[in-house]
Each structure stands twice: as structure tokens, then as C-alpha cells.
């Protein structure tokens, strides 16, 4: 996946062109534009009540004339949103208006854990959107097989697909047969396993949500998708929440790497016993 969106950045106009993305976001999406000699344009997500949303006013105000590519993450790591059809329609409209390519990293699409939420691929909105979109997918998150190295790009536009294939020559690793076989097995036979997983992860998310929000100084939003909790520690006023928690036996990701200080990301894709231990350590770290 990571080489996939790095490659997509090289399809964004000429060197110097802009790539627009939405922090806080998976860190390699912040460095991909620079790797391709493109400029990073940030439109920060905003917290509206208990929900992270695109900042439409901020996006309108952004100097984005040079943007050539929209880099999306759907569902969004780390905030756990599965973008709605309405949100994606509005974003696609921006892409049409400015003639942007779209690259959507949908690696977490099999992990919508909230029964009320739904995954919509932006390319499925309509044919015009599909024609400007590269959708990246993999079974690696949902079935926990990243080491088997099998991801793929869906590019309906023949010209764009050809450009992508030419750029990938000699750089993109071929998929190995283990990865291919595991991918096929996961999509073909892994449905019941995935259903049980979603149920378990939803239980973990609810448990963590209740525990975190009961700790003064911490706040987390409900997780619609992924196994990641994005925890707001700004009220604690610590120089580095990540280091503070690490000193108390918790290995969390630092929000700074995702483009937003004062937050940490906790991976709850683990057994309930381990999660309970993490909750105990979280509480202990703040007493």
C-alpha cells in the first residue's frame, strides 16, 4: 500500500505540484508527496462534538491552485471514521471542480466495527469519480497478514492504469504466491472469521471508550472503523503524552507523527485481557 500511494503522488502533475491530504493521518501519507518532489497541502480534520470531520471552510480557504491529487484515507487512520456517502460526494465534487486525481487508501475498509457505520468506496459514487480515482486495497489489516505483502490498486481508467503500471516498472515488488493465495483465501473464505472479528473489536472499542472517557484529562471519540483509538490528551498539558505513557508501560503512537500534537493512538487489535491490562496502566499513569 505504501509504495502504491507513493507512486500515485508521482502521477500528480509535474514535480512541484501539490498533494492535498487530511491530518491527523497515517504518517507515510504526510511524507509521500515530498518523496515524489511534490508539495504537501494539509487540510486538518476538525473535531465537531464527538466526531472528526473534514473542515470544509478550511478546505475552501486553502490556497490549493497547485493541487493535483487528493490523498484520502477511508476509513481514516487514526480517527476511525468511515466517511459517509455525503462526505465523499462533497469531496468528489471538489475533485471534479479542481480536476484533481484521487488516490484513496482503503486498507481498513474491511474493519467497519460500528454496526451503524458503512464503508463507501469513493470510486463507487459514480463513473466520473471512478475515472479519476486510484483505490488501494489489501486484505492485510483485516486478516492480519501484512507480512505476506499482497496489496492491489483498482484503476478503472485505462490511461491512468497504464501510467501507473509504467511508473511501477522495476520498482514495485511482484506479489508472491503465498500472499496471493492468502489474499484469495481471505476474501473467499474469511467472511465468518471477519464477522467474529468485527464483533470482538467492537466490544474492545466500547470497553476502551468507556474507560478512557472516565479518566479525567483524556477523551476519545467513538470508533466507527479500524482497531485504533485516537486519544485526546491535550487537557493533561504534558510535554509528550507518548513518553509519559511509555514510562508507565504503554507503547502508544505519538500524535505528532500523524500531524497533531497532544494526542496518542492506541491499537486495540488485541485480546481483551491485554486490553484490560492496558486500561489499568492508563489509569495508573494518571494517578
Interface residues toward ligand PLP, by CB under 6 A: 1-2, 26, 73, 77, 105, 107, 138, 140, 146, 151
Q: Look at strands 46-48 and 39-42 and give their pairing.
A: unpaired
Comparing CB distances to ligand PLP, the nearer of 257 and 277 is: 257
Comparing CB distances to ligand PLP, the nearer of 50 and 144 is: 144
Comparing CB distances to ligand PLP, the nearer of 144 and 165 is: 144
Planar angle of CA 177, 179, 184, nearest 5 degrees: 95
Comparing CB distances to ligand PLP, the nearer of 151 and 186 is: 151
Least separation in angstroms between residue 142's CB and ligand PLP is 12
Among 98, 67, 70, 96, which Cα is nearest to 83's?
Answer: 70
Least separation in angstroms between residue 236's CB and ligand PLP is 26
Least separation in angstroms between residue 2's CB and ligand PLP is 4
Least separation in angstroms between residue 108's CB and ligand PLP is 6
DSSP string for 79-143: TTB---HHHHHHHHHHHHHHT-EEEEE-TTTT-B-STT-----GGGS-HHHHHTEEEEE-STTTT
Among 271, 281, 201, 228, which Cα is nearest to 52's?
Answer: 228
Query: H or E stretch including 196?
Result: helix 191-213
Comparing CB distances to ligand PLP, the nearer of 19 and 151 is: 151
Least separation in angstroms between residue 77's CB and ligand PLP is 4
Comparing CB distances to ligand PLP, the nearer of 41 and 138 is: 138
How far is Cα 151 from Cα 182, in angstroms, rounded to an integer?
11
Comparing CB distances to ligand PLP, the nearer of 136 and 211 is: 136
Cβ atoms of 267 and 77 closer than 8 Å: no
Least separation in angstroms between residue 135's CB and ligand PLP is 12
Q: From residue 23, give the alpha-carbon distance in Å to each of 41, 58, 146.
A: 10, 13, 24
Among 27, 10, 22, 1, which Cα is nearest to 257's?
Answer: 27
Beta bridge partners of 20: 41, 70
Least separation in angstroms between residue 55's CB and ligand PLP is 20
Among 132, 169, 175, which Cα is nearest to 154's?
Answer: 132
Planar angle of CA 220, 226, 228, nearest 5 degrees: 40
Beta bridge partners of 225: 112
Comparing CB distances to ligand PLP, the nearer of 43 and 74 is: 74
Least separation in angstroms between residue 104's CB and ligand PLP is 10
Amino acid at each position: 500500500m505504501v509504495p502504491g500511494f507513493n507512486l500515485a503522488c508521482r502521477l500528480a502533475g509535474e514535480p512541484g505540484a501539490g498533494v492535498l491530504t487530511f491530518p491527523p493521518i497515517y504518517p507515510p501519507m504526510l511524507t509521500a508527496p515530498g518523496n515524489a518532489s511534490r508539495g504537501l497541502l494539509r487540510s486538518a480534520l476538525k473535531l465537531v462534538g464527538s466526531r472528526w470531520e473534514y473542515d470544509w471552510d478550511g478546505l475552501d480557504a486553502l490556497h490549493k491552485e497547485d493541487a493535483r491529487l487528493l490523498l484520502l484515507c477511508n476509513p481514516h487512520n487514526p480517527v476511525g471514521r468511515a466517511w459517509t456517502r455525503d462526505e465523499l460526494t462533497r469531496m468528489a465534487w471538489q475533485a471534479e471542480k479542481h480536476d484533481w486525481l484521487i488516490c484513496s487508501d482503503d486498507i481498513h475498509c474491511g474493519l467497519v466495527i460500528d454496526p451503524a457505520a458503512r464503508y463507501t468506496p469513493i470510486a463507487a459514487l459514480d463513473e466520473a469519480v471512478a475515472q479519476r480515482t486510484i483505490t488501494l486495497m489489501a486484505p492485510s489489516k483485516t486478516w492480519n497478514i501484512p507480512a505476506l505483502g499482497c496489496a492491489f490498486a483498482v484503476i478503472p481508467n485505462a490511461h491512468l492504469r497504464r501510467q501507473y503500471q509504467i511508473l511501477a516498472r522495476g520498482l514495485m515488488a511482484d506479489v508472491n504466491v503465498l500472499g496471493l493465495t492468502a489474499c484469495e483465501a481471505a476474501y473467499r473464505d474469511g467472511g465468518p472469521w471477519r464477522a467474529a472479528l468485527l464483533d470482538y473489536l467492537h466490544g474492545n472499542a466500547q470497553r476502551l471508550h468507556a474507560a478512557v472517557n472516565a479518566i479525567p484529562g483524556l477523551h476519545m471519540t467513538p470508533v466507527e472503523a479500524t482497531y485504533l483509538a485516537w486519544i485526546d490528551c491535550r487537557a493533561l498539558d504534558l510535554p509528550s503524552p507518548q513518553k509519559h505513557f511509555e514510562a508507565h508501560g504503554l507503547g502508544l503512537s505519538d500524535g505528532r507523527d500523524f500531524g497533531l500534537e497532544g494526542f496518542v493512538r492506541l491499537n486495540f487489535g488485541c485480546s481483551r485481557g491485554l486490553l484490560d491490562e492496558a486500561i489499568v496502566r492508563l489509569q495508573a499513569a494518571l494517578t
